[in-house]
Structure 1
Amino acid sequence: MKKILLLFFLCLSVLAAKAQTSGRFTLKGIVGDSSGTILPEATVMLLLPKDSSLVNFGRAGKDGAFELKSLKRGTYIFKISYVGFIPYQEIVTSKDQDVVDLGKIQMKVLQKELYEVVIKTARAPLSIRGDTVEFDAKAFKVPPGSTVEDLLRKLPGVQVDGDGNIRAQGEEIKRVTVDGKRFFGDDPKMATKNLPAEAINKVQVFNGKTEQAKATGIDDGKREKTLNLELKDSHKKGGFGKAVAGVGTDSRLEGKVSYNRFNDKQQFALLGFGNNTNQSGIARNDYQDFKGSQSFNWDDGDFGFNSGRYYGGDELTIQPNWGGGGAEGFTKNWAGGANYNYDTKKTKLSTSYFYSQTDSRLDVKSSTQNFLSNESYQTRDNNNTHGFTGNHRPALRFEKEIDSLNSIVLISNTRINLGDTKYESQQASFRDESQPTNQSTVNNVSDYNSFAMANLLMYRHKSGKKKGRNFAASVSYNINNADEDKHLNSINVFSQDSARNSVINQLNQTESTRGNFKGSLSFVEPIAKKFTWETFYNYSLRKDKVDRDVFDLEDNVQKVNTFLTRYYSNDFTYNRLGTSVRYSANGLNLSVGVAGMQFDLKGKFATDPTNSKFTNINRTFFSLVPNVSLNYSLKNNRYLYAEYGLSVREPSITDLQPIVDNSNPLYITEGNPDLLPASTHNFYAGYQMFNPASFTSIYGNIYYNYNVNQIVYNRSINTETLITTTKPMNVSGSNSYGTYIGFGFPIVKTKLTVGGNVGLNFSNSIAYVNEVKNETDTKGYNFGPRLDFTPSDVFTLYASANWNISDTKYSINTSQNQKIINTNYSADMNIKGPKEVFFNARLNYRGYKNDQFGFNQKQPILNLSLYKLILKNKKGEIRVTAYDVFKKNLGVSQFVSQNFYTERRVATLARYFMLTFTYNMRGMSASVKRPGGF
C-alpha cells in the first residue's frame, strides 16, 4: 500500500511536469492606465469561455509586467483586476505562436455610476489586494448540495484536512465569519460544515487583528488568519437549508436539519441532528468551554503581555464523559441549537444556544509495561464504560459604540452539564504470566451535574485630545459549581500479601463551588512618534470550597470514613502590575516589558466544615516576569515573529494538602505542602511567506522551553505488591525544543498543488521512580507530503502521507528503550459520472509499529459512496455509503512517558452501510438591491 501511494504521487508529478513542456505557449504584457501610468501588482487571470472557470492566474510585477507560462494552446478569456479600475477583459487565442504579447494594456478608472454594472458583468474569479485574497465562488465548480468545506478544498492555497481544520496560505484559519459576523460563536467548522456552497458569493482570506489588539487599541503586530464567507443576495431573501435522513445496516440511523435566514443586519440559523453512527455533538472544545477556560477567547479580559498571566489553577469541576469524542466506542448522539446576530454600525449582538447529548459505550483493553531500575512488570486493564452526558451552552456577546470615543463589550457564556457513568474494570499486575501479583475488580457508578458561567464587561475610552492615548478596563465574574455522587465497589487481592486484601463498598458525595472575581486596567500613552507605553494591572480573587463526604456501606448502613472524608476552602489572590514599551514603524513591532506578580494562597482543611481543628496553608509567592516580543511585517507578504517570556503557575490546593487518598488501593496519591511555584522559560520564533503571484507558501518555527521547579508526580512502587504511590515534587532541568517547516506550491495552477512538512521535536523529562532519578529522552521526527489534484469538476483527488517516529530512551532500565513508528496515508477521490451520478472514495491507512514489544498494527479504513441528484433544480440527493469496507476499524494507540509504555485498544463502530436522502432548501431568486427586512 505504501509503495502504491508513493508511486502514485511520483507519477502525477511527472505527468504534470511533462504536460507543461509540450504544445504550450506564454502570454505576457504590461498593465497601465489610459494616461500611460504603470499599475503595479495587478491581478491577471485566464478563464475558459464555456463556463468562466479559472485556468491560470498571477500578479503583475512592480513594473506592471506579467507573464503566464506553459499555457495549453486554445482560446481563453483574459482578465485583469485592479482596485479603483474597471476590470479589463479580452479574448486570447494561440494557434502556432510560442509567445502571445498583448503589449501595454490600458485600464479605465471605475466611475461610481458604473459600479453595479461592472460588478454584474465583469466579476473577477480572483482578486489579490495586499495580504487579502478574494475568490468568486462560482468560478470554482462543486457538485450541487456541497458544503462550504467542499468549496474551500477547490480554492488555490486553501487546504482542509480530514477533521475539517482549515489552512490558508500556509497558516491555520483561526476564525470563520459569515458576512463579517460570528456564526455559532467562533467555531470555524460550524459554518464550513453546515452552510451550503451554493449560498456563497465570495470567500475572503485576510489577516485580522487579535481580540486583545481590538480591545486595547494597541496594534501588537500579531495577526489571526481569518476567512469570511460573503453570501449571495439570493440567499438573503427567504430562507435556505438542508434536511438529511438515513437508515443503515445494524439498525444505524441518522438525521440532520439546518435552516438559515440572513440579511444585511440580521442572521438567524437553526441546526439539529441525531444519530447512532458516532457523529458526536460533544467535542474537545465543548469540554474546554464547559470548564470556562475558553470563555473569552483572550484570557478572561486580562490586559498586558502573556508572561505571568494567571490561567486558573485547580480544576474543581466534575469531568464529563464525552464518549471518546465520537471516534471510539459506540455512541448515540443528539444535538440542536440556534444562532442569532444583529449587526449595525454602532451595535453588534451575537447570541447562540446549543444543546448536545451523548450516550456512549466504551470497551477498552490496555496493557502497560512499567520499568523499575533493573526490572519491569506488566499491568493489564480490561474496562467498560457506559455513560450519558448532556450539555447546554447559551452564549451572548454585545458590543456598543457609545460615541466616537467610548465603547463597551459584554460577554456571557454558560455551560450546564449533567450525566451519569457506569464503570466496570478488571485490573491485574504481573511479574510473569504464571501468577498475578495483584488484581482488582471494580464496579463504580456516578451521577454528576455542574454549572459554569463566565461574564465579562469591558470599557474602552479613546482620548479626543491626543491620538493613540486610550484607557481600558474590564471586570469579570466566573462561577463554576459541581456535584457528584459516586458509588465505589471493588475487590482487591494481593497474592504476596493477603493481609492487604480488601473489599471497598463506598459512597462518595462531592460538592464543589468556585467564585472568581477579576479586574484589569490598561493605560496606553504615545511617548514619541513611533513609541507607545502601556501600563497594566491585573487582579483576581478566587474562592474555592470542596466538601467530600465518604461513607463505608455495611449492610446498607452508612458509616463515615474519616480517613477519606475531607473539607477544604481556599482563597487565592493574584496581583500583577506591569509595564511595556512598544516600537512600531515600517512593519516592525517590538515590545519589551516586565511585570511583578504575586500569588497569595490561603487554605484550610479538615474532615468536615464543623471540625474545630483545621490545618491551615498560608503561602505567598512573588516573581518578576520579563517579556520580549517581535513581529516584523516584511515586504511581499513575509512575516517574522519571535517572543520570550516566563510563565509561572502556583501549586494546586489539592497537591499542597498532605492527605493520603487510597480510594484506589492499587494507586495511592499523597499531597506535598512544601511545593514551590513552577515556572517555564518560553522562547519561540517563526517565519511565514506567501507569494500571491505564484501562490507559494513557506512557513516554519522553532521553540525552546526550560522548566524550573516543575511539579511532577514521582512514583514509589512496592516491589512485592506492585502498589504505586504518587507524590508531587519540584524538579528543575527538564526541557523541550524543536522546529517545524512546511511549504506548498502549485505545479499547475488550479490543477495540481503539492506541499509538505517536516517537524523535529526533542524533550528531556525528569522524574523519580523509587527515589532513583529517571531521565526520559524522546526524539520525535515527523514528515510528509500532500497533493491536491483538481483537473476539472469531473475528477478531484486529495492525498497526503505522514510518518511520525518517536525514539525514547530511559536513564534507568535502558533495555526498555524503544522506537515507535506511526504512519498515516489518506486519499479522498471524487468522480462525476453521467446523468448527475457522483462517486466518492475515502481511504485512511494507518500503521502502528513498536519492535520493542512486537507491536505491528495496520489499519486500512475505506469509505465508499455513490450518489445521484434528483428532483427539480437538483434539490434532492440519494446516496448509498459503505463505511469501513475492510472492517478494520479498531481504536489503537500507544503512549510513552516517564517509566511506562501503554498500548490501548478500543472496540469501535466497524463496517456498516447507509442509505440517505437529502433535500436542499434553496434561497429565492437573486436581486441586486439587497432587502432591508428580515
Structure 2
Amino acid sequence: MKKLIYILLLASSSVFAQKITLKGQLLDDVNAPLPSATVMLLNPIDSSLINFSISNTEGFFEMKNLVRNNYLLKVSYVGLANFSKLVEPKEGETLIELGELRMQQQSQQLNELVVKGEKAPVTIKKDTIEFNAPSFKTKENANVEDLLKKLPGVEVESDGSIRAQGEQVQQVTVDGKEFFGRDPKIATQNLPAKAVEKVQIFDKKSDQATFSGIDDGQRQKTINLELKEEYKNGFFGNATGGYGTDDRYTGRLSLSRFKKNQQLSFLLMGNNINEQGFSIDDYMNFSGGSQQIMGARGGGAVRMTFNAGGGGANQGGAQINFGQRLNGIMSNYGGGVNFNQDFSKNTTLQSNYFYNQLEHDVLQGLERENFFGDSSTFLNQSSRQYNSNYNHRVSAILDHKIDSANSVKLTTTFVNNQAESNSATQSETRADNGELINDGNSNTYSSQNINNFNTNALLRHRFAKKGRTISSNLSFGYSQNESEGSVQSDNNFYKPFLLSQELNQVNNQLTENMTLGATLSYTEPLGNRRYLELNYNFNQNLNDVNRRVYDVEESGNVLNENLSAQYTSDYQYHRPGFNFRVNRTKYSVTLGSSLQYTKLYGDNLSTGETISKPYQNILPTARFNYEFSSTRNLSLDYETSVQEPSITQLQPIVDNSDPLNQTIGNIELRPAYRHSVRTNFVVFNPVSFVNFFAFVNATYTQNAITYSQQINERGVRISKPVNVDNNKSVSANASVGMPINKIGSRVSLSANANQQYGVNLLNDVETNIAQSVLSSTLRYSYRYKEIFDIELSGTISRNSTDYELNEASNQLYYNNNYRTEANLSFLKNYQLSSSFEFLVYDSRTTDFTQQVELWNISISRFILKNKAGEIKLSAVNLLDNDFGINQTASINYVERTNTNNLGRYLLLTFTYAINKQLNPLAGRRPGGGMRMMIRN
C-alpha cells in the first residue's frame, strides 16, 4: 500500500510539474499598450488551436495551467501586422515571461506563413453575437434564409419571418447598410449564402442614441450580413427559371455589383407557388389578417392561435402560432433596385425602390364551438375570398458630415398601396341540442388606395469639450387613405322569435393623417466618465376621418346617419426628461426619468360631441450593463411607457361590416401604463466553441386596454375596448450550442417559456386568464467532407390557457414538429436533396388530432465551369397534402378552419450562379476554416 501511495504521489507531482504559465505584454511600435488583442496558442505541427486569451487595458495577457509542450504563439490586432513566436519551455521552467512584445504596422512587407485552423463558429462582441457563416454548411445555391435556419438561437418561420433569441428580427442590413429598405425577407431570400462571411445579431439603437451615447430605449432586433471580401468587389447573384405540372412556374433574378464605395442591386421575381421573397405586411394590414394567412411553399399544416379578448387589439393574451403555413393559393411578383453610394468619407447615400404584387385565392370552411357556462353553440361557415395588393415603395437616406463638429442625416420614405378584396360567405349557428339559432349569407367588397410619406432630419453637433453634444431629430409624416366598399347580406335569427334582416349598403371613407415630431438631446460630461443628458420630446398627430355609409334602396342611396361619422382628432404630448450615465471599465449604468403630458382632443362633426382627455405620467428608466470579459456580458433594462387609446377606440360608433361580429368604441377609455424589465446574458468559450445566451422579459401593464364581448341570444357578438386592472407577462429564452469534433457534428438546444396573465370580460362577467407556452428545440448537424450532410431537428411545445370562472373553456394544446434535411453529392456533378417535416398537433380540449407529413425531394445536375449552372427537378409536397388547418382559442370559443392549399407538383428549374463566372476567387476558400497571415 505504501508503495502504491508513493507511486501515485510521484505520478501526480510529475503531472503538476509539467503545468506552465505564460505571460507577456503587447505594445505597438511607439510603446503604447494594446488592449483587447487576440492571443492564441497553436500546435506548431498542425496549427490547431490550443488556448486563447485577450489582453487587458495595459496590454498584459496570461495563460495558466498549460501542458509543457512547444507552442506557436500568434497575436492579432486590428490595424497591425500579425505577430508570431515559437515558445519552447525549458526543463523545470514553470513561468515563462515573454516580456514586451512589439507589433508593427500592417504596411510593412514581411515574409508570410499561412496557417490553417478552424475558425470560431460563434463569437461575442459586447452586445453583438457573431456567427462565422462558413462554419454552418449550406447546399449549393442556397440563400441567406437557408443559412439562418442553421444558426443556434435563430428560427425562420415558413412565412420567412425571423426570430433571434426569441425576438422578432425587424431589419436585415448588408455590410451595415440597408438592403431594399427595412424588409428582412428581401435580403434573406434573395442573397446567396456563400457570399456571407459573418452574421451579426444585435439590438440596433436609434441614431440619436448612438450619437449621444445615452440609450433612449428605442431598439430594433437587427441582423447584419458581412460579405466576404471577394464579393465586395464584383458582380454576384443568381438567375432562376422553372416550370412544372399544373402550370406552376417560378422565376427570379438577383444581381449585385459591389465596389469599394458603391452597392448596386437589382431584383426581379414572379411565381404562383406561394413563394414571396418579400414581406406581405401591407397586404395583411389591409386584409386585417381575417384569413390568417401564413407563408410556405405548399402542403398542409395546422396553426393554433390564442386571442384572449377577441375582436382584435386586446392585451389579454398573445397568439400561439403552430406551423405558420400559408392558406390559399398565392401568385406574387416583385422587382426593384437598391443603390448605396459613398460619395466621399463625409457623404453617403442609401436608396431603393421596390414594387410587389400579390394575388390570393382562398377557399375556407370554419367550425367554431362557443362556450357559455353549461351550454355551447356551434357555428359552421364556408367562404370564398379573392384578394389583390399592389405596392410601390421608395426610400432614401442621406448622411452628410458637414465638418468635424456638425453632421446631418435625412431619411425619406414614400409608399403607395392599392388593394381589393371580394368575399362570399355562408354560415349557420346551432345550439348544443341541434336547434338552429341563426343562418345567413353575405357578399362583401372593399378597396383601398393609400399614400404614405414620412421624412425626418437628424442634426448633430459635437462641442470642443469631449462628451458634450447636442442633437435634434425633426420628423414629418402625411398619409391619405381613400377606401370604398359594399355589404350585401341576408340573415335569419330564430331566437326568441324569427327575425329576418337584409342588409344592402355601400360605404366610402377618406382618412388623412399628419404627424409632427421633434426630439432634442443635450449631453454634458461631468468628469470621471460620467455624463448627464437632458432631453425633450414633442409629438403631434392630427387625424381627419370622413366615413359615409349608405343604405341601397330602390329610390337610391340613403345616408345611414347611425353608421356614418366625420370627426377630427388632435393627439399631442410633451415629454421633458433626463438621463445620468456612468461608464466604467467593466460596467455602465444609466438612470433617468421623464414627465409626459398628453392631451387627446376629438371632435365628432356628425353629432357635435367632443372628447378632451388630458393625461400626465412619470416615466422612469434604468439600464445596467456588465462585461465580465470580452466573451461574457450581462445587461439589465427597466423602462416604462404609455399606451394611449386611439381616437377610433374612443368613438362610440358601431361598425357593422360583419353583422354577426360588430365593434363599438368607448369614450371612457384611459391610457395603459406599462412597466418592462429585460435581462440578457451571453457567453462564448473561444477554446471549446461552446456558446450560451439567454434573456428574460417581464411586463406589467396597469389600466390595460382589452376588448369586452357581449353575445346576445341571437348569436351576435359586439366587441368594445375597455380598461382592466392589469395584465402581466413573462417570456424567457435560452440557447446553448457546442461542436462534437470527433464525429464532425454540432448540436444546439434552445428552450422558450412564455407566461401571460390577463383579464377579459364576457357578457359583463370579468374573467382572469392564464396562458402558458413551453417549448424546446434540439438540433443536430453532421457533415462528411463535401459529400454528405444532414440536419435533424425536433420541437416540442405545450400550450395551455386556464380561465378562472369558466373551467369548461380551458384550452390545452400540444404541438410537435420534427424535421430532417439531407444532401448527398455524387458522381462529382450530381446532388440529391430531401427534406421531410412531420407535424403533430393535438388539442386535448376538442379531442382534435392532426398529423401532417411534408416531403420535398430534388435531384440536381451541375454544369458549366465551377458548377455555375444547376438543373434541378423537384417534387414538392410529394404526399399531396393540399389543405391547411388552423385552430384558434379565445375567451369563450375554439374554432378550426380548413383551407385550400397547394398540393403535389413537379418543378423543373435552371439556376445560373453569376458570381462564379465573374469572380474567379469566389468559392475557393475552404469552408469553415480561416487563413491567418503570420508575419515573420
TM range (shorter): 0.7 to 0.9
How far 1:568 moved relative to its partner? 0.9
CA 1:851 to 1:123, structure 2 compared with 1: closer, same or farther past 3 Å?
closer
Partner of 1:595: 594
Aligned pair partner of 1:692 in 675, 680, 686:
686
Superposed displacement of residue 189, structure 1? 4.3
Q: Aligned Cα RMSD in Å? A: 4.0
Q: Which residue of 1 aligns with 2:618?
A: 624
- Structure 1 residue aligned with 2:828, among 827, 835, 838? 835
In structure 2, C-alpha distance between the alignment counterparts of 1:901 and 1:339, rounded to whole Å: 45
Q: Is contact 1:215–1:460 with CA below 8 Å preserved after alignment?
A: no
1:646 is the counterpart of 2:640: yes
DSSP 3-state at the match of 1:328: coil
Aligned residue number for residue 94 of structure 1: none
CA contact (8 A) 2:214 2:533 kept: no
| Aligned-partner Cα distance in 1 for 2:809–2:124 | 56
Contact 2:809-2:893 at 8 Å conserved across structures: no
> What's the counterpart of residue 3 of structure 2?
none
> Any idea what SS the aligned residue of 1:852 has?
coil
The change in CA–CA distance for 1:419 and 1:189 in structure 2 (over 3 A counts) is closer
Select which of 211, 215, 229 maps to 2:206.
Answer: 211
Aligned 1:258-657 pairs, distance under 5 A: 258-281=254-277, 283-285=279-281, 327-343=326-342, 344-432=344-432, 434-464=434-464, 466-497=465-496, 500-555=499-554, 557-607=556-606, 614-657=608-651
Equivalent residues of 2:81, 2:107 under 8 A apart: no
Q: Which amino acid aligns with 1:912?
A: Y
The alpha-carbon distance between structure 1 residues 384 and 79, as it changes in their structure 2 partners (threshold 3 A), is farther
Seen in structure 2, the aligned counterparts of structure 1 residues 418 and 159 have a Cα distance that, compared at 3 Å, is closer
1:185 is paired with a residue whose SS is coil
- Deviation, 1:150, is 5.1
Query: Secondary structure, in 3 states, of the residue corresponding to 1:654?
Result: helix
Say if 1:31 and 1:40, in contact at 8 Å, map to a contact too. Answer: no
| Structure 2 spans left out of the alignment, 5+ residues | 1-17, 28-32, 55-60, 87-95, 288-311, 315-322, 923-936
Distance 1:112 1:582, change over 3 A: closer
Contact 1:142–1:793 under 8 Å retained in 2: no
Q: Give CA-to-partner distance per residue, 1:178-228, whole Å, 9 cap, x none.
A: 44433223445433432334545x436486862346543215499977544
Residue 814 (structure 1) aligned to one of 785, 803, 807: 807
Give the structure-1-normalised TM-score: 0.82
What is the one-letter code of the residue matched to 1:538? N
1:780 and 2:773 are equivalent in the alignment: yes
Aligned match of 2:58: none
Superposed, 1:740-889 pairs within 5 Å as: 740-748=733-741, 751-889=744-882
- Report Cα offsets for 1:776-827 as digits up to 9, x if no partner: 2222222221222233221122222111111222223322323111111122
- Looking at structure 2, the residues matched to 349 and 754 of structure 1 have their Cα atoms a distance apart, in angstroms, of 42
**CA apart distance, 1:828:** 1.7
| Distance of aligned partners of 1:592 and 1:158 in 2 relative to their CA distance in 1, 3 Å threshold | closer
Q: Secondary structure at the match of 2:658?
A: coil
May I ask how many residue pairs the two structures share in their alignment? Answer: 845
Residues of 2 paired with 1:354 and 1:160: CA distance?
26
Equivalent residues of 1:765, 1:898 under 8 A apart: no
3-state SS in 1 of match to 2:141 = coil
Alpha-carbon shift at residue 660 of structure 1 (Å): 3.1
Q: Which residue of the partner structure matches residue 670 of structure 1?
A: 664
Q: Secondary structure of 2:374's partner?
A: coil
Residue 19 of structure 1 corresponds to: none
Bigger shift: residues 121-130 or 430-439: 121-130
Amino acid at match of 2:895: T
1:572 partner letter = Y
Equivalent residue letter for 1:218? G
Contact 1:221-1:632 within 8 A present in 2 as well = no
> Amino acid of the residue matched to residue 226 of structure 2?
L
Matches within 5 A, 1:57-72: 59=52, 62-64=61-63
Letter in 2 for 1:348: T
Distance 1:56 1:139, change over 3 A: farther
Look up the match of 2:191. 195
Number of the residue aligned with 1:185: 181
Say if 1:657 and 1:139 are closer, same or farther in 2 by CA, change over 3 A: closer
- Indicate if the aligned counterparts of 2:727 and 2:759 stay in contact, CA closer than 8 A: yes
Q: Which residue of 2 aligns with 1:307?
A: none
CA 1:262/1:212 → structure 2, altered by over 3 Å: closer, same or farther?
closer
1:42 maps to what in 2?
39
Q: Distance in 2 between matches of 1:757 and 1:380?
A: 39
Q: Which deviations, in whole Å up to 9, do the C-alpha atoms of 1:714-748 show, x marking residues without a partner?
A: 11221x31222222221103322243322112222
* 1:331 partner SS: strand
Q: Tell me, what secondary structure is at the counterpart of 2:414?
A: strand
Q: What SS does the aligned partner of 1:809 have?
A: strand
1:814-857, CA deviations, whole angstroms, 9 ceiling, x for partnerless residues?
A: 22323111111122211111131011111222111112212000
2:226 is aligned, of 226, 229, 244, to: 229
Amino acid of the structure 2 residue aligned with 1:703: N
Which of 699, 702, 706 is residue 705 of structure 1 equivalent to? 699
Question: For residues 170 and 110 of structure 2, what CA distance do their matches in structure 1 show?
Answer: 33
Of the structure 1 ranges 811-820 and 381-390, higher mean CA displacement relative to structure 2 is found in 811-820
Of 453-462 and 79-88, more deviation after overlay is shown by 79-88
SS in 1 for 2:413: strand
Shift in alpha-carbon separation, 1:559–1:143, aligned structure 2, 3 A = closer
CA distance in 1, matches of 2:655, 2:631: 57
Write the distance in 2 (CA, Å) between the matches of 1:48 and 1:419.
66
Gaps of 5+ in 1: 1-25, 70-76, 91-101, 292-312, 316-323, 608-612, 929-934
**Shift of residue 642, structure 1, vs aligned partner:** 1.8
**Structure 2 vs 1, CA of residues 58 and 256 (structure 1 numbering), >3 Å: closer, same or farther?**
farther
Q: Residue 246 of structure 1 is aligned with which of 226, 242, 248?
A: 242
Residues 442 and 462 of structure 1: CA distance in aligned 2, closer, same or farther (over 3 Å) = same
**Contact 2:313/2:706 (CA < 8 Å) preserved in 1?**
no
Give % identity. Answer: 28
CA distance in 1, matches of 2:550, 2:789: 63
Distance 1:698 1:542, change over 3 A: same
Shift in CA distance, 699/199, structure 1 to aligned 2, threshold 3 Å: closer
1:551 shift after superposition? 1.0
Q: Give the equivalent residue in structure 2 for 1:659.
A: 653
For residue 55 of structure 1, report the CA deviation from its aligned partner: 8.2
1:766–1:898 Cα contact (<8 Å) kept: no
- 1:319-365 deviation line (CA, Å, top 9, x unaligned): xxxxx998221011100010000023111100001110001011222
Look up the SS of the partner of 1:333 in the other structure: strand
Gap change, CA 1:807 and 1:33, over 3 Å in 2: closer
Conserved in 2, the CA contact under 8 Å of 1:46 and 1:55? Answer: yes
TM-score by length of 2: 0.82
| In structure 1, C-alpha distance between the alignment counterparts of 2:26 and 2:457, rounded to whole Å | 54
Looking at structure 1, the residues matched to 286 and 370 of structure 2 have their Cα atoms a distance apart, in angstroms, of 34
DSSP 3-state at the match of 2:875: strand
Q: Secondary structure, in 3 states, of the residue corresponding to 1:562?
A: coil
Question: For the residues of structure 2 that align with 1:565 and 1:218, how far apart are their CA atoms?
Answer: 50
What is the DSSP-based 3-state SS (H/G/I as helix, E as strand, rest coil) of the residue aligned with 2:918?
A: coil
